[in-house]
């Protein structure tokens, strides 16, 4: 089958696409508390140390550690209680030898103290006298100033998504505004003479537009902004005109071709007219989605997806989402999570071709079992019924029943 050998499998095809993307969206400044999930456009540094003062990590007594050395249950150290450290302000007292002060978790260590004895390791001997039953070392139960981050330290690198953890950390440092990458705008074009808008009453021979909406949702999920350009008839000029407008208004363009081979060639030709280098990959060794078109025109990614809505969604996860991550400048060292499961049946596959198969998960004896969902292509609910996808890599000739597989949740 020489035609299969000529087509690249998805990883190599993806690399070619990403290498050619030159256009990158600008950054923008956002209020930190509204920036969940956004990607940093520049590294962020600490304006001051954190904590900004030495803090107690327990409820207890601030002491000079040397005053407790050698003490024990049977030989307590007796310290003079000189006051209480108020929460939220500086202690108005200073510790001298033989003295201690009541302190709460998070309180600021008073001058002269260098450790905290936990409440549990003390006894009140008299009104102003405390028995210390266990020795503490210098710095024990204390957060040093700058122990979390030091002034000027890089706290968040460029190209990472802001999670609740980062948002909290930024607030701790009083960083109320962050420089993030603008959400890339993705133009989405459906084509096909048989395709009508979802609000239409369908006539015999017509189908409603699925791709514009499923792909918009995927784009939003992946951090982009979807802009729909509607359904274009299967004519070269019409496709080219709309694609050209989308390319000028967006950071990336996705075109779902009509279903037949001739309309796919139309898409390819329309894309080639948008600018150089044009179509880089026409056909990928993958199932579903072999007639995929990967192009870069005027520095921007232009991706031609199969019209079949199942192929379109699978292929969009393989190429549109990584292209979006590239535009977002995402550092991709964080792995994709999955659910390990036991495959329920044998799955043959052609060597050289990467296969993606929707599966349903069920729990049997505490372990997940992945049951492939077989259906003719083009049945959108075969995907809606699936929990995830499994891949058979190009160098395998299949998977065996009982084998462990990685299920990527949809």
Partner residues linked to 406 by β-bridges: 340
Secondary structure of residue 313 in the 3-state scheme = helix
Q: Using the minimum distance from each CB to its own copies, give the nearer residue, 328 or 389.
A: 389
What is the chain's length?
410
- Give the nearer residue to its own copies in terms of CB position, either 131 or 193: 193
> What residues pair up with 122 in beta bridges, in sequence order?
132
Q: Which is nearer to its own copies, 25 or 192 (CB)?
A: 192
Q: Which two tokens stand for residue 197?
A: 């808008």
Residue 65 or 247 with smaller CB distance to its own copies: 65
**Closer to its own copies at the Cβ: 117 or 296?**
117
Sequence-distant (6+) residues with CB within 8 A of 366 are none
Shortest distance, position 96 Cβ to its own copies, whole Å: 20
- Minimum Å gap between C-beta 270 and its own copies is 17
Q: Which is nearer to its own copies, 297 or 358 (CB)?
A: 358
CB of 118 to its own copies, least distance (A): 11
Pairwise CA distance, residues 350 & 336, whole Å: 25
- The tokens describing 166, both together, are 């980062």
Residue placing its CB nearer to its own copies in the complex, 70 or 366: 366
CB 318, min distance to its own copies, A = 14
Residue 230 — left, alpha, or beta (φ > 0 → left; ψ -120 to 50 → alpha)?
A: left
Nearest distance from C-beta of residue 143 to its own copies, angstroms? 6
Query: Distance (Å, rounded) from C-alpha 201 to C-alpha 207?
Result: 10
User: Rounded to whole angstroms, how far apart are CA atoms 136 and 178?
Assistant: 42
| Nearer to its own copies among residue 18 and residue 119 (C-beta) | 119
| Cβ at position 275, least distance to its own copies in Å | 29
305 vs 90: CA distance, rounded Å: 64
Q: How far apart are CA 11 and CA 395, in angstroms?
A: 12
Enter the tokens of residue 322: 């990584």
- CA–CA separation, 61 vs 376, rounded Å? 72
- Residue bearing tokens 């409603």: 208
Q: What is the CA radius of gyration of the chain?
A: 31
Residue 103 is encoded by which pair of tokens?
């302190």
């Amino acid at each position: 089958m020489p035609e299969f050998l000529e087509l690249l499998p998805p990883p190599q095809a993806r690399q070619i696409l990403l290498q050619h993307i030159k256009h990158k969206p600008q950054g923008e400044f956002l209020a930190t508390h509204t920036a969940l999930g956004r990607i940093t456009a520049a590294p962020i540094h600490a304006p001051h140390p954190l904590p900004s003062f030495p803090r107690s990590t327990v409820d207890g007594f601030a002491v000079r550690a040397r005053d407790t050395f050698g003490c024990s249950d049977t030989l307590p150290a007796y310290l003079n209680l000189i006051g209480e450290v108020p929460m939220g302000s500086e202690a108005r007292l200073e510790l001298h030898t033989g003295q201690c002060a009541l302190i709460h978790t998070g309180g600021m260590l008073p001058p002269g103290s260098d450790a905290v004895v936990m409440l549990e390791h003390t006894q009140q001997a008299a009104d102003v006298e405390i028995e210390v039953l266990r020795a503490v070392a210098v710095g024990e139960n204390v957060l040093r100033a700058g122990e979390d981050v030091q002034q000027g330290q890089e706290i968040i690198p460029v190209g990472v998504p802001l999670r609740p953890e980062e948002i909290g950390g930024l607030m701790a440092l009083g960083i109320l505004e962050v420089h993030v990458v603008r959400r890339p705008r993705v133009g989405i074009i459906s084509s096909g003479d048989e395709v009508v808008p979802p609000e239409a009453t369908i006539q015999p021979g017509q189908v409603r537009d699925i791709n514009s909406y499923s792909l918009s949702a995927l784009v939003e999920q992946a951090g982009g902004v979807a802009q729909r350009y509607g359904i274009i008839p299967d004519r070269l000029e019409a496709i080219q005109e709309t694609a050209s407008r989308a390319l000028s208004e967006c950071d990336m363009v996705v075109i779902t071709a009509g279903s037949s081979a001739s309309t796919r060639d139309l898409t390819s030709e329309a894309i080639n007219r948008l600018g150089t280098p044009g179509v880089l990959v026409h056909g990928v060794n993958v199932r579903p989605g072999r007639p995929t078109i990967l192009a870069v025109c005027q520095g921007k990614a232009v991706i031609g997806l199969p019209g079949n809505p199942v192929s379109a969604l699978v292929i969009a996860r393989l190429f549109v989402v990584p292209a979006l991550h590239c535009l977002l400048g995402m550092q991709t060292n964080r792995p994709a999570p999955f659910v390990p499961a036991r495959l329920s049946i044998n799955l043959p596959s052609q060597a050289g071709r990467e296969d993606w198969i929707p599966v349903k998960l069920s729990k049997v004896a505490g372990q997940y079992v992945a049951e492939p969902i077989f259906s003719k292509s083009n049945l959108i609910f075969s995907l809606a019924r699936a929990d995830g996808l499994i891949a058979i890599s190009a160098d395998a000739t299949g998977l065996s029943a009982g084998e462990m597989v990685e299920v990527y949740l949809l």
